[in-house]
Amino acid sequence: MLSRHLIKHDAIVGYSLSSTVLRGYATAMKQMQGNDTASTPNDWENARPYSELQGPSKYEMIRGVLPGGVFYKKTFIEGMTGMAKKYGDVFRIPAIFGKPEMVLDFNPNDYPIIFRNEGIWPERRSFEAFIYYRKVHREDIFRGVTGLLTTTGEEWAKIRTAVNPVLMQPKNAKLYLNTLLEVNDEFLERIRHIRDPLTLEVPDDFQDDINRLTLESVVGIALNTRLGMIHNNRDNPESKIFLKEIRNLFELSEKIEIKPSIWKIIKTPKFHQLMKTLDTLTVLCNKYIDEALKQIVLDTEGKLTSEVDKEKSVLEKLLRIDRRIAVVMALDMIMAGVDTTSSTLTGILFCIAKNPEKQQKLFKELKNILPNKDSRLTIDNMQNLPYHIVETLHK
């Protein structure tokens, strides 16, 4: 496996690895094992051939997703975990129906090695149906600017370099504290409204509320706009459509992008459903973006439409760099930010709930800086939180 034996191959799909890069893998592995000596020609000579890397055949992949197959009605994680148990931490998925061959690595110790040796520009496996949507199906909207979700290599690097000062500076996260506190207040109000008065437990469908929390937060930061969909305006038909289509997006993407699909050969019903879902989300997102743009224009005329103590939206900041990139990045934040953030938050809450002693320690720390019910988080008192949630998860 990759973590123990270097695999000799001149192009592992997704990274376009050269023999020089693979030699770098061997050096990095030695360093991680406490050996700081320079690499030698033997690092490459001792590499195992790529042909030894195990994985399912094309027939096994197709049969596996059909009724009665090993992947049938299983999630992507369940399917991949099953293959890791069968083939080891590193295995390959064959090229099929126009999709390239892939190598999957389930050993976290390998990830730093891969990232440090992939070259100046990462070759990311993009969602090809998304690329089709933005470059072909709705080229009239995107006009060549496809954002970070659907780019790779040098094109990805150019966009990332342009937006990094706004999106990737850790200090920028603190700037949106007031916006997020406002969203969180509505979320707490929702919890008080739906929890059981005796057990104080929330309903089984609480995941829906978490999705609403993350979408409201992302829109607040990206556009400085409140949808009110957590509690105050949760029955808004537009909000319901948005959440429904977000869920459809990820369900259909798994069927089109992850599981074997012939959409590159024949446009399947699922493919057309995905295009329709993306159309609906794009229209809704662009409506929110257009409204935010109008507010920004009014602000420049001195109308003071921005709320007091609120940071300028990501959209407004990116407009100073490039208008087209600003609109697409705001769109990407809204469409891609809900499921990813919801999954992370759900995992954190689950881990805290499973470790009551850590939960109590975290509670005591928060109680010190928020002694009263009406106490508020501030940039200053947030500096006094030595016990972080990340630490909670690892202890």
Pairwise CA distance, residues 139 & 146, whole Å:
9
Residues 91 and 153 in one domain: no
Q: Which residues contact 344 (CB under 8 A, 6 or more apart)?
A: none
Is residue 18 pLDDT above 50, yes or no? Answer: no
Which of the residue ranges 29-38, 212-221, 298-307 would you say has the lowest mean pLDDT?
Answer: 29-38
Pairwise CA distance, residues 47 & 41, whole Å:
10
* Nearest to 156, CA basis, from 168, 166, 169, 147: 147
Domain range for 289: 132-354
Give backbone dihedrals phi and psi of 269, rounded to 5 degrees, phi first: -55, -40
Q: What is the pLDDT of residue 327?
A: 84
> What's the pTM?
0.74
341 belongs to a structural domain:
yes
Residues 82 and 227 in one domain: no
**Domain count across the chain:** 2
Query: In this structure, what token pair is assigned to residue 72?
Result: 């049938």
Residues 60 and 145 in one domain: no
Give the tens place of pLDDT for each residue, 234-266.
888 888 888 888 889 888 988 888 888 889 999
Is residue 395 pLDDT above 60, yes or no? Answer: no
Residues 158 and 90 in one domain: no
Pairwise CA distance, residues 17 & 40, whole Å:
19
Is residue 185 pLDDT above 50, yes or no? Answer: yes
Residues 16 and 146 in one domain: no
**Using alpha carbons only, what angle is made at residue 322 by residues 318 and 328, rounded to the nearest 5 degrees?**
70
Pairwise CA distance, residues 191 & 65, whole Å:
39
CATH number at residue 213: 1.10.630.10
Residues 181 and 317 in one domain: yes
Query: In this structure, what token pair is assigned to residue 200?
Result: 């104080």
Q: What is the pLDDT of residue 301?
A: 59
Residues 87 and 147 in one domain: no
386 belongs to a structural domain:
no
Residues 111 and 196 in one domain: no
Mean of the per-residue pLDDT values of the chain: 79
Contact 239, 233 (CB under 8 A): yes
Give the tens place of pLDDT for each residue, 289-344.
888 888 877 776 555 444 445 667 888 888 888 888 888 888 888 877 888 888 88
Contact 200, 162 (CB under 8 A): no
Q: What is the pLDDT of residue 9?
A: 37
Residues 174 and 271 in one domain: yes
168 three-state secondary structure: coil
